[in-house]
Structure 1
Amino acid sequence: MNIPAMNWAWRPRRVPADVQAAVAWGEVAQRLYARLLLIPEAQAARLQATANRDVLVLSGAAADLPWVEGIAYAAADERAPGLWLPTSWEPDVPTDLLAQALSKKFSRAPLLLWRDPPAVVPLDRQLPVTAQHLQRIEAYWASR
């Protein structure tokens, strides 16, 4: 989803947020998906996933998130819990107000607001990582 036109910019966070999600775009998403197929079932059961044609988002404890080269990280904003942001970047406007504007625009929550590529990704359809859910993601990607 495209970011609505608003007058704000990104700035580096003074202190990175604690990791709560792994975010992978394009080819990195494919590698993260392949890595997910290899993790122990008990670890997978502690993760939630959602995907669209461009991105794969996994949420869970930082220790449970699998790593692949090129992955990025996100966390819920402490001032606006329905808004997830990159761990190293933040908007230069109050995030609670930005979250309200995005919620009105997209009518979904929570939302991941991403810097590069610029995007808004709904996270309300995250499901536990199971073999069935991973098969649905694979089938969706194969159909595009």
Structure 2
Amino acid sequence: MSPSNRLSWGWKAQPEPTAPVAAVAWGAVARDLHARLASMGAERLRGLQATANRDVLIVSGESSRLPWVAGVEYACACEQAPQLWLPSLWQPDVAMDLLAQALQAKFARQPLLVWHQPTTCVPLDRLLPVTAELLARIAAFWR
């Protein structure tokens, strides 16, 4: 990627966090969150969806149903750009409509988790219902 098409912005504290729509866990915390989900019964998993890559596990659902483990962070949908999910305690220091347009032009897959630490964007178009089968697929992928 050439420097001319790199996107860059900073982050500032979110003055009024909204209700979370997802639990976000990186690295070892992702494995802990996976274990937490695996220990939950089917009824408690109902309504939760998840996606993962080698670095992160993202679990979405109603805020009251989102699982917790030490180190997990939460994301909320951006009011000005609902296709972007942001850290619940942080917001970009640029105009959200312009950032959303730039990210939409750069990433074909939407919605996007736009994260502060590590700085990355994760497509959320492959969220699947959390089941024992999905958790087994994620575990196999991480091996």
The TM-score with structure 2 as length reference comes to 0.93
Q: Deviations over 1:81-116 (max 9, x none)?
A: 100000010011121221121121111100000000
Structure-2 residue corresponding to 1:63: 64
Structure-2 residue corresponding to 1:6: 7
Q: CA deviation at 1:7?
A: 4.0
Structure-2 residue corresponding to 1:131: 132
Structure-2 residue corresponding to 1:93: 94
Q: Secondary structure at the match of 2:81?
A: coil
Distance 1:77 1:16 in 2: 10
Structure-1 residue corresponding to 2:51: 50
One-letter amino acid of the structure 2 residue matched with residue 54 of structure 1: D
| Residues 93-102 or 43-52, more deviating | 93-102
Q: What residue ranges of structure 2 are gaps of 5+ in the alignment?
A: none
Distance 1:31 1:80 in 2: 31
Distance 1:90 1:59 in 2: 19
The TM-score with structure 1 as length reference comes to 0.92
For the aligned residue pairs, the C-alpha RMSD in angstroms reads: 1.1
Q: CA deviation at 1:11?
A: 0.6
Moved over 6 A (4+): none
Distance 2:14 2:48 in 1: 26
Name the CA shift for 1:85/1:5 in 2 (closer, same or farther; >3 Å): same
1:15 aligns with 2:8: no
| Residues 52-61 or 97-106, more deviating | 97-106
What does 1:96-111 align with in structure 2 at a 5 Å threshold? Answer: 96-111=97-112
Q: What residue ranges of structure 1 are gaps of 5+ in the alignment?
A: none
Distance 1:119 1:41 in 2: 31
